[in-house]
Structure 1
Amino acid sequence: MVTTSTSEDAPKLLNLVRNKIRLKHYSIRTEQAYVDWIKRYILHFGKRHPSELGAEQVEQFLTYLAVEGKVAASTQNQAKSALIFLYKEVLGQLLPWLDDIEHAKTPKRLPVVLTKQEVQAVLGELNNTNHLIVSLLYGTGMRILEALRLRVKDIDFARKEILIRDGKGFKDRVTMLPTSLVQPLQAHLARVKALHEQDLAKGYGAVYMPQALAKKYPYAAIDWSWQYVFPSAKLSIDPRSVNESGQGVTRRHHVQDQAIQRAVRQAVVNAGITKPATPHTLRHSFATHLLEGGYDIRTVQELLGHSDVKTTMIYTHVLNRGGRGVSSPLDGL
């Protein structure tokens, strides 16, 4: 347990947070978000050490975010999760009040779904790698980061399957590889392999590996099968490898999801679609169109990786058949 309580210990505490997050194999996004919220929490109470604070201060901070900061319920809940992680996992304070703090109520909204014609229009506004990635999102139902984090070994062309590792909830699952994407993906990977060989020749080419795997397979980082399917166009310093002196390992990361977000947003505008569509909308469209095609909801649940079929049931409410498939009496006149 951390017992020091001076403001100078804040950087040391944040390093403990980062180390604990990496030990539990959380994503870099989660690490950045949690560290940011914990830092804001410490600054909000005049740089007092969190061990000196308790339930009252946590509630005050979350109330401040909602009332003064006017943040969304999901954002407030993320801040709460970061503070719970801090107290339980880092400070080792298994206090009952942590479980008594109520989650902000997130509004239940139906997902935005594109028609097949609208999906085709959006894809028509994209090209090259962006077109391939977005096609994969719609054709497989993957989340955007699931697609961008794919490794070469995760695609089985013979079986036309894609293995999605460490999806939401740290679960693996299998989805289909659309036949129409087999040839474009193979051509894309031929170019990626040439880029990887260039990196190796220049002394780079080692991709990021989860900590445990990096120790178990020390040479896997430079192996072709472990490379990202959609690598970034530029080399960059891996933030997880930066030491106290500010030095880190130069790697080729995967394409940033913000770039795909921007590309889809522009494609939607260019296609003249007024729906607030995002890359995640293609996942919703994938599920809805499968149900429209008569596929069993349990099959769709498995492809999406939902733990509970109730989560998948929401797509039965957005099928293109009017309100829950009921015909209006006006149409019967």
Structure 2
Amino acid sequence: MRHYSLRTEQVYVGWILRFIRFHGRRHPRDMGAPEVEAFLSSLAVEGRVAASTQNQALSALLFLYREVLDIELPWMADVVRAKRPRRLPTVLSEDEVARLLAQMEGRPWLVASLLYGTGMRLLEGLRLRVQDLDLVRREIVVRDGKGGKDRRTMLPTSLVEPLQRELVRARMLHEADLAAGFGRVWLPYALERKLPNASTGWGWQYVFPAPRRSVDPRDGVERRHHVDDGMLSRALKAASARAGLVKRVSAHTLRHSFATHLIERGHDIRTVQELLGHKDVATTQIYTHVLGRGANAVPSPLDRLPAPGAG
């Protein structure tokens, strides 16, 4: 009913099961705020989990009580909160990005280049549909991003030709599926009922389809999903090692690097905010603290001193 992703559903169910087992398999209806407080505090004190992990568990339990059991929990003031450390994002220099991409090829190279060139999150890139690409106007429409919002971002000119080749391969795969009696793709919300023929239409197919069809755990229908996100993670790890990069590299590192490099080149932070899909400009402002010249891009006073031995 809430249109949560399957991954969110699985995570919420997992936390609810841990909560029930933590309290000796008592029914949640027979528990309340004190038990929730004890569970969350245990995660922080004994489990030493990150603040984001504790907040995820809290969200799952609030959903359980509010939406499933129709019980409103009072404000839980006694929960020991996990401390949220203030960490700056890992950012690659332009040279490091070039070295990383030079060690990649094929689809992993294309996906990594697309994430760095557009600032998209990993799943936003993998979930792209054919109709979301505008190769003529050099635009990408990011559908249902974080917070359920759509936005537009640029499509790098250098990726137009590689994307065209990828679309040719995707179309051949789709036509083979249709010939075999398949070819349907998952559609969000009630679109499959409203547009019964859309799921087999070319425009709705994924730009990066999985190599094999799989059975959808929601309804048991065999479809071709988008490629697994682990594909890029493995490729980035291997390419980073070959490139000799010391920094830890992930798909999100490419997004961080995209934002930082735009700001370094003088682009307005509001524009960068829109391209990234941030709700609050304060989230985008963190990239002003990772610019190459030090804190807030202020040059060090040491660099103003005379060189050693100078008259």
- Work out whether 1:57 is the aligned partner of 2:59: no
Structure 1 residue 96 displacement after superposition: 2.6
- Equivalent in the alignment of 1:213: 191
2:138 and 2:100 map into 1 onto residues whose CA distance is 25
**Alpha carbons 2:141, 2:152 under 8 Å: kept:** yes
- Work out whether 1:178 is the aligned partner of 2:156: yes
Helix, strand or coil at the partner of 1:321: coil
**Alpha carbons 2:33, 2:73 under 8 Å: kept:** no
List alignment gaps of at least 5 residues for structure 2.
306-311
1:192 and 1:117 map into 2 onto residues whose CA distance is 32
Structure 1 residue 68 displacement after superposition: 2.8
- Work out whether 1:113 is the aligned partner of 2:85: no
- Equivalent in the alignment of 1:271: 243
Structure 1 residue 66 displacement after superposition: 2.1
Q: How many residues in Structure 1 have an aligned counterpart in Structure 2?
A: 305
1:121 and 1:330 map into 2 onto residues whose CA distance is 31
- Equivalent in the alignment of 2:141: 163
Helix, strand or coil at the partner of 2:190: helix
* Partner AA of 1:139 in structure 2: G
* Partner AA of 2:253 in structure 1: T
- Work out whether 1:188 is the aligned partner of 2:166: yes
Of residues 110, 115, 130 in structure 2, which corresponds to 1:152?
130
- Equivalent in the alignment of 1:223: 201
- Work out whether 1:76 is the aligned partner of 2:48: no
- Tell me the TM-score normalised to structure 1 length: 0.88
**Alpha carbons 1:84, 1:98 under 8 Å: kept:** no
Deviations 1:259-310 (A, max 9, x none): 2112111111111000112110000100011011111111101100111111
Q: Which runs of 4+ in 1 moved over 4 A?
A: 98-103
List alignment gaps of at least 5 residues for structure 1.
1-22, 242-247
With 41-50 and 93-102 compared, the bigger mean Cα shift is at 93-102
With 255-264 and 100-109 compared, the bigger mean Cα shift is at 100-109
Helix, strand or coil at the partner of 1:253: coil
* Partner AA of 2:301 in structure 1: P
Structure 1 residue 332 displacement after superposition: 1.2
- Equivalent in the alignment of 2:308: none
Structure 1 residue 108 displacement after superposition: 1.4
Of residues 280, 294, 317 in structure 1, which corresponds to 2:266?
294
With 215-224 and 65-74 compared, the bigger mean Cα shift is at 65-74
Deviations 1:11-48 (A, max 9, x none): xxxxxxxxxxxx11111111110011111111222222
- Tell me the TM-score normalised to structure 2 length: 0.94
Deviations 1:65-117 (A, max 9, x none): 22332322211111111001111111111233368857533211111100011
Helix, strand or coil at the partner of 1:191: helix
2:144 and 2:277 map into 1 onto residues whose CA distance is 11
- Equivalent in the alignment of 1:280: 252
Structure 1 residue 211 displacement after superposition: 3.1
Change (3 A) 1:87 1:257: same
**Alpha carbons 1:122, 1:267 under 8 Å: kept:** yes
